């Protein structure tokens, strides 16, 4: 498979240096005990988080917080100037400075840009047979972004074509062609320079490959991201008239690009993006489900379409109470209960969990069906730490002691903090599993 990558989406004059083949610095774990000393280490960023209490950003090494072996803290002013700011997770960096002790463990305070260098991503990840979890996917996307930064458009086209044809998957069953496309997503809170950077790169790519079906898809994705960027984390009804106009214009541009380039339909993500546009533009129910039918006919094995449709049926988008749950059950019956049908049902339930404080008390979703679906998914993808963590977390939320007792040992050594949030929740789940009360 072809190597390559980008990620910078930040137009600043900070060089990314290649690690020298001679003396590579030790990793974070090797220097974590050198409190009070000047250290230099090279390691992968496992997580980035903002602390309101300290008013700065923490980079976690060794593992995501709170299981990190070493943390690096810096101010927003410095953080915003770092290369690849919004996509540092998965990147390998080289850092120098004085190591201190802190209540959360060894800590290095980054006071200058000169203390940090971003090391080029090893592009062998693009040829790796299986991406083992979230960390590998971060490195994969970093490698893709690296190619974009170098204007290696032919490599990107070749890689995308190979992934589309092979339908290769990550350890948890996600299509690698989707991981590839996600590398070009600009986060909603990214600065305007990130969007301008990607826009310039895609324009250069279009000039180099004018007949590419991939570039219009990425351009449509960019304008969708610009629409969401206009809204930010606010509530749509509270936006100004001008901001709403930007949102509608960008979402309309995304739709226009997609409809003008039907060649992009060879990618499953084409219809997923169009379904998102349909939801955001509030298409009529008949128009939305006609689009869903077309998408399912073209890519019958791509079940994220049904996940999007379930979201369309939630009360937020005009659905009636219980409607998305009934839709999920119909999809379960369509694919066959007990295997693929239960798996799709589980994916739909998991995707909508954030819309409720208590999914299993506020909706008519069936925990038995979801549990069966995750058990099937884990059996199909036994290497997936992500699926095991999701299943254990939901066992806890569903108050299912029997299943939780079996699920917790599978994740105890490596709880995923993007699911559990903190170790306190893991401890609460363990305490619940050991108890016998209601």
Rounded Cα gap, residues 75 and 19, in angstroms: 26
In a domain, 33, yes or no: yes
Give 65's contacts (C-beta < 8 A, 6+ positions apart): 47, 49, 58, 71, 104, 417
Classify residue 293 as exposed, middle or buried by CB count within 10 Å of its CB (0-12, 13-18, 19+). exposed
Tokens at 410, concatenated: 């599978």
Same domain, 154 and 101: no
> What pLDDT digit, counting tens, does each position of 290-320 carry?
999 999 999 999 999 999 999 999 998 989 9
- What's the structural domain count of the chain? 3
How high is the pLDDT of residue 1?
A: 40
Q: Which residues, 6 or more positions from 73, have their beta carbon under 8 angstroms from its beta carbon?
A: 51, 54, 56, 57, 58, 59, 107, 108, 109, 110
Of 119, 136, 164, which residue is a domain's last?
Answer: 119
110 and 138 housed in the same domain: no
Residue 57 DSSP symbol: E
User: Residue 10 above 70 pLDDT?
Assistant: no
Do residues 93 and 131 both lie within one domain?
A: no
- Say whether both 75 and 142 belong to one domain: no
Alpha-carbon distance of 348 to 365, in angstroms, equals: 10
Largest CA distance in the chain: 66
- Predicted confidence band of residue 414 (pLDDT cuts 50, 70, 90): confident
Q: Residue 74's domain is classified under what CATH number?
A: 2.40.50.140
Q: Report if residue 61 sits inside a domain.
A: yes
| Residue 86 sits in the same domain as residue 127 | no
Domain end residue (candidates: 182, 206, 227): 182
Looking at the fold, whether 390 and 437 belong to one and the same domain comes out as yes
Domain final residue, candidates 182, 202, 223: 182
Q: What percent of the chain has pLDDT over 90?
A: 63
Report yes or no on 371 lying in a domain. no
pLDDT (0 to 100) of residue 372: 97
The per-residue pLDDT for range 317-363, each reduced to its tens digit, is: 989 999 999 999 999 999 988 899 999 999 999 999 999 999 999 99
- One domain, residues 65 and 132: no
Beta bridge pairs of residue 110: 74
**Measuring CA to CA, which residue among 436, 389, 435 is closest to residue 409?**
389
- Clarify whether residues 106 and 40 are in a common domain: yes
Residue 46 lies in a domain: yes
Which pLDDT value is given to residue 40? Answer: 96
* 392: containing domain: 381-438
Alpha helices in 80-191 (DSSP H): 134-149, 153-166, 176-182
Residue 227 has pLDDT above 90, yes or no: yes
Distance CA 65, CA 424 (A): 12
312 within a domain of the structure (yes/no): no
Backbone phi and psi for residue 94, each to the nearest 5 degrees, phi listed first: -115, 125
DSSP letter at 6?
B
Kindly report the backbone phi and psi dihedral angles of residue 364, in degrees, each rounded to the nearest multiple of 5, phi listed first: -95, 15
| Chain position carrying tokens 């369309």 | 312
Between CA 140 and CA 171 the distance in angstroms is 13
Looking at the structure, tell me whether residues 107 and 146 fall in a common domain.
Answer: no
Q: Please tell me whether residues 414 and 436 are part of one structural domain.
A: yes
Same domain, 41 and 115: yes
Dihedral sign (CA 38, 42, 46, 50):
positive
Cis peptide before 66 (omega within 30 of 0): yes
| Confidence label for 132 from pLDDT (cuts 50, 70 and 90) | low
Average pLDDT over residues 260-271: 96
């Amino acid at each position: 498979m072809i190597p390559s990558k980008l990620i910078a989406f930040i137009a600043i004059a900070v060089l990314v240096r290649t690690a020298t083949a001679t003396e590579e610095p030790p990793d974070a774990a090797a220097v974590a005990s050198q409190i009070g000393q000047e250290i230099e280490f090279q390691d992968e960023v496992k997580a980035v988080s903002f602390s309101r209490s300290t008013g700065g950003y923490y980079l976690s090494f060794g593992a995501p917080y709170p299981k990190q072996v070493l943390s690096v803290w810096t101010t927003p002013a410095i953080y915003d100037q770092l290369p690849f700011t919004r996509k540092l997770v998965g990147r390998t960096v080289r850092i120098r400075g004085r190591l201190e002790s802190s209540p959360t463990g060894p800590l290095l305070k980054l006071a200058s840009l000169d203390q940090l260098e971003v090391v080029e991503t090893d592009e062998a990840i693009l040829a790796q047979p299986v991406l083992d979890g979230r960390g590998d996917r971060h490195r994969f996307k970093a490698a893709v972004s690296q190619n974009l930064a170098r204007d290696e458009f032919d490599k990107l086209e070749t890689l995308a074509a190979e992934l589309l044809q092979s339908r290769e998957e990550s350890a948890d069953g996600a299509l690698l062609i989707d991981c590839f496309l996600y590398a070009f997503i600009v986060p909603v809170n990214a600065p305007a320079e990130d969007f301008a950077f990607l826009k310039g790169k895609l324009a250069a790519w279009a000039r180099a490959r004018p007949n590419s079906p991939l570039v219009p898809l990425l351009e449509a994705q960019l304008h969708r991201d610009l629409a969401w960027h206009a809204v930010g984390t606010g509530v749509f009804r509270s936006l100004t008239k001008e901001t709403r106009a930007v949102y509608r214009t960008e979402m309309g541009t995304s739709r226009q690009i997609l409809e003008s380039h039907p060649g992009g339909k060879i990618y499953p993500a084409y219809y997923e993006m169009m379904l998102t546009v349909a939801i955001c533009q509030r298409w009529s129910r008949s128009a939305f489900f006609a689009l869903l039918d077309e998408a399912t006919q073209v890519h019958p094995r791509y079940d994220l379409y049904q996940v999007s449709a379930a979201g369309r049926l939630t009360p937020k988008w005009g659905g009636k109470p219980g409607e998305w749950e009934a839709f999920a059950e119909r999809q379960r019956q369509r694919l066959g209960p007990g295997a693929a049908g239960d798996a799709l049902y589980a994916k739909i339930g998991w995707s909508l969990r954030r819309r409720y404080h208590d999914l299993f008390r506020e909706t008519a979703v069936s925990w038995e069906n979801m549990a069966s679906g995750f058990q099937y998914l884990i059996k199909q993808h036994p290497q997936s730490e992500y699926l095991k963590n999701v299943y254990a977390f939901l066992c806890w939320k569903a108050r299912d002691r029997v299943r939780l007792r079996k699920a917790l040992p599978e994740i105890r050594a490596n709880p995923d903090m993007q699911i559990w949030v903190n170790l306190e929740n893991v401890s609460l789940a363990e305490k619940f599993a050991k108890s016998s009360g209601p």
